[in-house]
Copies of this chain bind each other. A is one copy, B any other.
Amino acid sequence: MARKRYTHAINEALIEEMSRDPRVIVYGEDVELAIMGDTRGLLDRFGRERIRNTPICEATLTGMAVGAAAAGCRVVVHMMFSNFIYTGFDAIANQMAKLHLMTGGQAVMPITIIAAYGGGASNAAQHSDSGYPALVNLGGVNVAMPATPADAKGLLKSAIRGNNPTFFMEAIGRGGEMGEVPDGDYTVPFGKAATAREGRDVTLIAIGSMLKPTLEAAKKLEAAGIQAEVIDPRTLVPLDEEALIAAARKTGRIVVVDEARDRCSAASHIAAVLADKAFGALKAPVKRVTVPNVCMPYAPNAEKRMIPDADRIARIATETARA
């Protein structure tokens, strides 16, 4: 166990998995010099056969992953910003998410796609989307949302070893954040939510980048005498419905926090699941704290206004706890 940066945890997972299995390859635009930091040092260690810069052609990068996987590699594709997933979306939605079914189970696709999402750095609309709801809706790809350095390491290792296409969504701007990371071969299973904090008055379900402000909000609530439980689903596909339902039943008061745009967000989906399966236990309206249905403005003040922060979360959680 040691304190490490989120980026560093990813880097460690990549190094360990590449060392463990010679079939693991990594490619993407500028991965050699590590534009996002997370692939630093791989070139020196593994050489250009196993990690390489590609031309700018996302449509091919995603499709190529399918073919390389079919032919025996375990493929890690770095897409840099998650908005570029859209550029490579055809092969994701039409091939990667569907081929296992369409081939009657023949196609096996050990593919991990890394992409950084979210706002907060004035990168403007084309570099700030949290577009994972579209991925969640595809049905055939896993979606991992590590919120902490430990989960970043553990989920990435599970993704690379797994046999299903997985999106590993990096929380942008949290690359520098620190946290305890177990040493060595630490994996986190998919579909297991984590309880980040126990409490009996209100349940806050926080996705990915939203864990941190939600934990801050929980502290504020504590000061006001409200004990918030904080649950982190960790993966959206598969989704640990059981844990979420149990948590909902415990307090009957739910707030889901998500950096995605509100309509058809992961927050919507989780709220819907609970309004169905935990209905009898609900004591208050199920609330969503999300980005409004806008794309990210550039100006820092305008951007800040759109992204859920501890104050907004705390306010809505307080209302919910007291409703």
Residues of chain A touching chain B, judged by Cβ–Cβ distance below 8 Å, are: 58-59, 83, 86-87, 89-90, 92-94, 97-98, 101-102, 124-126, 129, 131, 133-134, 136-140, 236-237, 239, 260-261, 263-269, 271-277, 279-280, 282, 284-288, 293-295, 297-298
Does B89 contact A295, Cβ atoms closer than 8 Å? no
Residues of the B chain whose Cβ atoms lie less than 8 Å from the Cβ of A239: 263
> Which residues of B lie under 8 Å from residue A287 when comparing CB positions?
276
Chain B residue nearest in CB terms to A143: B263
Known A83-B93, A102-B125, A126-B94; judge A286-B272 contact (CB<8 A): yes
A279 with B286: CB separation less than 8 A: yes
A92: chain B residues within 8 A (beta carbon): 86
**Chain B residues near A266 (CB-CB < 8 A):** 264
Hey, which chain B residues are within 8 Å of A286, CB to CB? 272, 275-276, 279
When distances are taken between beta carbons in the complex, the residues of chain B under 8 Å from A59 are 59
Q: Are A101 and B288 in contact (CB under 8 A)?
A: no
Closest 3 CB pairs of A and B: A275-B275, A134-B134, A279-B285
Pairwise interchain contact B269-A139, C-beta atoms closer than 8 A: no
Closest residue of chain B to A97 (Cβ to Cβ) is B295
Contact A295–B265 (Cβ < 8 Å): no
Looking at the complex, which one of B102, B265, B269, B279 makes contact with A126 (CB distance below 8 Å)?
B102
Question: How many copies altogether?
Answer: 2
Tell me the bound Cα distance from A129 to B101 in angstroms: 14
Q: Which residue of B lies closest to A267 (CB)?
A: B272
24 contacts between A and B (CB under 8 A): A83-B94, A86-B90, A87-B89, A89-B93, A93-B129, A93-B131, A97-B295, A98-B125, A131-B137, A133-B264, A136-B263, A137-B260, A137-B263, A138-B261, A138-B295, A139-B263, A237-B293, A239-B263, A265-B269, A268-B272, A274-B275, A275-B285, A276-B286, A279-B285
Q: Which residue of B lies closest to A124 (CB)?
A: B102
- Which of A265, A293, A295 has the most chain B CB within a 10 Å cutoff? A295
Closest-by-CB residue of B relative to A323 is B279
Residues on B with C-beta less than 8 A from A90 are 58, 86-87, 89
- In the assembled complex, the Cα of A179 lies from the Cα of B265 at a distance in Å of 34
* Closest B residue, CB atoms, query A274: B275
Q: Is the CB of A271 within 8 A of B275?
A: yes
* Residues in B whose Cβ lies below 8 Å from that of A101: 125, 294-295, 297
Question: Given the complex, which residues of B lie within 8 Å of A267, measured CB to CB?
Answer: 272
CB pair B288–A276 under 8 Å, yes or no, is yes
Whether the Cβ atoms of A284 and B293 lie closer than 8 Å is no
How distant is A282 from chain B, measured CB to nearest CB, in Å? 7
Which residues on B sit within 8 Å (CB–CB) of A97?
Answer: 295
Inter-chain contacts of A284 with B (CB < 8 A): 279
Closest Cβ of chain B to A301, distance in Å, is: 15
In the bound complex, CA of A284 to CA of B282 (Å): 11
Q: How far is the CA of A83 from the CA of B102 in the complex (A)?
A: 15
**Min C-beta distance of A240 to chain B, whole Å:** 13
Give the residue among A94, A102, A297 with the most B Cβ atoms within 10 A.
A94
